[in-house]
């Protein structure tokens, strides 16, 4: 089912709003405005000195807090509860990092009862843009709610996969969304050296996305923007006329959570939601035929051409194995690009699986990254197998038990947290559910890039703790509880 989505807008105005001076370094320009990155060399940024990285991050931690404190109700409540009026360094932000569960700290009954005016006021507590007065008359589903906000505000809601039983919602402006897409184009062009990759902003190449065209997950939102800004509108989707329904994603998560608790059959499903569920199930029943059509069309339209593919590993592996079984090798041009993240999703494939995918695709220009839907900066994997934080993304490591900020003097394992200095539409300081090993401050990766980096192995604390992960933040627990209480009250 196709949905009416707002077209990309304001791109030229966004880029022109960043004043450039060719006589100054990218560091100097970004110290004045982080958006100067849009006309810079990503590789140059990844080789800033430690002193430059610290100076940039300290300044923009300070500035973003000053800009957003009074605009985002929950941030102001959390800061007041801890007596924080200003910050001087990036580490001063640690008590103000939200648990990732904050983004889904709404009563599920609001969705079940269709009380989307309340959900809007709740989300307004997380947004720097006022969306509280949007009329929600006639809105009955999450998809309706997202579309209503798309049509009447500058905010584009991103939702999570809802594996825990509830969707997280991130309010992002068009400008921030656009900046995230441009950021991706920059690292594709410059990651292995200035202009070492294609400049897809200037020379568009077709975009191939083996998933749904419409929807509000990070994958669908990102795909839409990539096609418009980097693909020149030329694209191939697995489901070109269908939408990944947030309602069905939410329902699936709730069913999984109920099954895990032995509460099967306790979830009431409205007729409208049942119809969406049945449509999605029909899609899955026809998946093999749809994949065959997708493979054939990709080969027919793009064989030998340079393309950009955005996908997780599982559908790529499925596609490659089916293609190789037919004798298809080196399908696309050598200048093609693959961006991927999220790991293998628990799949255990035969040794050499990645080489087989490359053999099928015909190129090895692959950008594997670690990131979250809550941020627009990404940690790319280098040739040493490390994930590198760009200076725009501040890394924090917390003690998993106490939430205390761990020192940066040596390599340590703990809970990952971050703050994205590029984002202005919401508070991007979040504590994740990931256990990671972070480099020491003075440690330099063998690839030569500077700044913080992670070891390749990353796992969820929920898996380590048998499904139970109590997120403890660096700030005072009571202040965080009070901030969450305020957030819920905003919707009432």
Rounded distance between C-alpha atoms, residue 398 and residue 402, angstroms? 8
For 146-172, give one letter per residue: b (16+ CB within 10 A) or e: bbbbbeebbbbbbbbbbebbbbbbbbb
Q: What is the pTM of this model?
A: 0.90
397 domain-assigned:
no
Comparing CA positions, the residue from 153, 173, 162 lying closest to residue 35 is 173
* Parallel/antiparallel/unpaired status of strands 169-173 and 155-159: antiparallel
204 domain-assigned:
yes
Tell me, what's the pLDDT at 288?
A: 81
Rounded distance between C-alpha atoms, residue 38 and residue 15, angstroms? 7
For 260-295, give one letter per residue: b (16+ CB within 10 A) or e: eeeeeeeeeeeeebeebbeebeebeeeeeebbeebb
Tell me, what's the pLDDT at 160?
A: 87
334 domain-assigned:
yes
Please list the rounded mean pLDDT of every run of 10 residues in the chain (492 residues): 37 50 84 96 97 98 97 95 96 94 91 92 96 94 96 95 83 96 96 95 94 90 93 93 89 70 63 75 80 88 94 86 89 94 79 93 94 93 97 96 93 97 97 95 95 93 66 81 79 72
Range of the domain at 332: 198-243+286-364
Q: What are phi and psi of 155, to 5 degrees?
A: -95, 135
The three-state DSSP-derived secondary structure of the chain is CCCCCCCCCCHHHHHHCCCCCCCCCHHHHHHHCHHHHHHCCHHHHCCCCHHHHHHHHHHHHHHHHHHHCCCCHHHHHHHHHCCCCCCCCHHHHHHHCEEHHHHHCCCCHHHHCCCHHHHHHHHHCCECCCCCCCCCCCCCCHHHHHHHHHHHCCEEEEECCCCCCCCCEEEEEHHHHHHHHHHHHHHHHHCCCCCCCCCCCCCCCCEEEEEEEEECEHHHHHHHHHHHHCCCCCEEEEEEEEEECHHHHHHHHHHHHHHHCCCCCCCCCCHHHHHHHHHHHHHHHCHHHHHHHHHHHHHHHHCCCCCEEECCHHHHHHHHHHHHHCCCCCCCCCCCEEEEECCCCCCCCCCCHHHHHHHHHCCCCEEEEECCCCCCCCEEECCCCCEECCCCEEEEEECCCCCCECCCCCCEEEEEEEEECCCCCECCCEEEEEEEEECCCCCCCCCCCCCCEECCCCEEHHHHCCCCCCCCCCCCHHHHHHHHHHHHHHCC
Total of domains in the chain: 1
Tell me, what's the pLDDT at 390?
A: 98
263 domain-assigned:
no
CB 48 within 8 A of CB 38: no
268 domain-assigned:
no
Q: Which two tokens stand for residue 472?
A: 């403890």
56 domain-assigned:
no
> HSE (CB half, 13 Å, CA atoms) of 381?
18
Burial class of residue 104 in the structure, from the number of CB atoms within 10 Å of its CB (0-12 exposed, 13-18 middle, 19+ buried): middle
224 domain-assigned:
yes
Comparing CA positions, the residue from 8, 122, 80, 188 lying closest to residue 479 is 80
Comparing CA positions, the residue from 161, 143, 210, 197 lying closest to residue 2 is 143
Tell me, what's the pLDDT at 131?
A: 96
428 domain-assigned:
no
């Amino acid at each position: 089912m196709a949905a009416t989505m707002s077209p990309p807008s304001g791109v030229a105005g966004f880029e022109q709003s960043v004043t450039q001076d060719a006589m100054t370094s990218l560091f100097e320009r970004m110290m004045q405005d982080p958006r100067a990155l849009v006309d810079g060399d990503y590789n140059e940024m990844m080789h800033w000195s430690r002193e430059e990285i610290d100076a940039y991050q300290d300044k923009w931690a300070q500035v973003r807090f000053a800009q957003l404190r009074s605009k985002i109700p929950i941030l102001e409540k959390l800061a007041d509860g801890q007596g924080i009026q200003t910050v001087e360094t990036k580490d001063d932000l640690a008590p103000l990092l939200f648990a990732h569960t904050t983004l889904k700290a709404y009563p599920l009954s609001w969705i079940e009862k269709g009380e989307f005016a309340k959900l809007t006021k709740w989300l307004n507590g997380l947004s720097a843009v006022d969306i509280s007065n949007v009329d929600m008359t006639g809105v009955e589903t999450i998809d309706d709610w997202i579309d209503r906000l798309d049509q009447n505000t500058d905010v584009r809601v991103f939702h999570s996969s809802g594996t825990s039983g509830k969707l997280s919602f991130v309010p992002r402006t068009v400008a921030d969304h656009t900046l995230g897409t441009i950021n991706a184009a920059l690292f594709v062009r410059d990651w292995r050296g200035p202009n070492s990759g294609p400049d897809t902003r200037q020379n568009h190449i077709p975009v191939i996305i083996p998933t749904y065209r419409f929807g509000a997950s990070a994958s669908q939102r990102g795909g839409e923007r990539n096609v418009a800004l980097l693909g020149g509108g030329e694209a191939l989707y697995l489901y070109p006329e269908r939408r990944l329904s947030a309602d069905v994603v939410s329902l699936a998560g709730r069913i999984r959570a109920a099954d895990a608790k032995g509460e099967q059959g306790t979830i009431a499903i409205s007729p409208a939601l049942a119809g969406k569920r049945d449509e999605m199930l029909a899609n899955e029943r026809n998946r093999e035929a749809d994949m065959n059509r997708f493979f054939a069309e990709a080969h027919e339209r793009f064989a030998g051409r340079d393309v950009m593919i955005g996908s997780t590993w599982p559908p790529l592996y499925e596609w490659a194995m089916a293609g190789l079984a037919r004798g298809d090798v080196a399908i696309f041009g050598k200048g093609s690009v693959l961006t991927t993240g999220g790991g293998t999703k628990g799949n255990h494939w035969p040794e050499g699986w990645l080489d087989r995918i490359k053999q099928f695709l015909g190129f090895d220009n692959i950008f594997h990254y670690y990131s979250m839907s809550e941020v627009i900066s990404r940690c790319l994997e280098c040739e040493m197998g490390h994930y590198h934080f760009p200076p725009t993304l501040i890394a924090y490591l917390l003690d998993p038990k106490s939430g205390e900020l761990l020192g940066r003097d040596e390599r340590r394992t703990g809970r990952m947290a971050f703050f994205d200095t590029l984002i202005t539409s919401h508070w991007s300081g979040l504590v994740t559910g990931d256990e990671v090993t972070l480099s020491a401050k003075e440690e330099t990766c063998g690839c030569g890039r500077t700044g913080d980096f992670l070891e390749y192995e990353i796992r969820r604390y929920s898996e380590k703790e048998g499904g139970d992960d109590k997120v403890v933040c660096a700030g005072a627990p009571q202040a965080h509880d009070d901030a969450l209480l305020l957030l819920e009250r905003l919707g009432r």
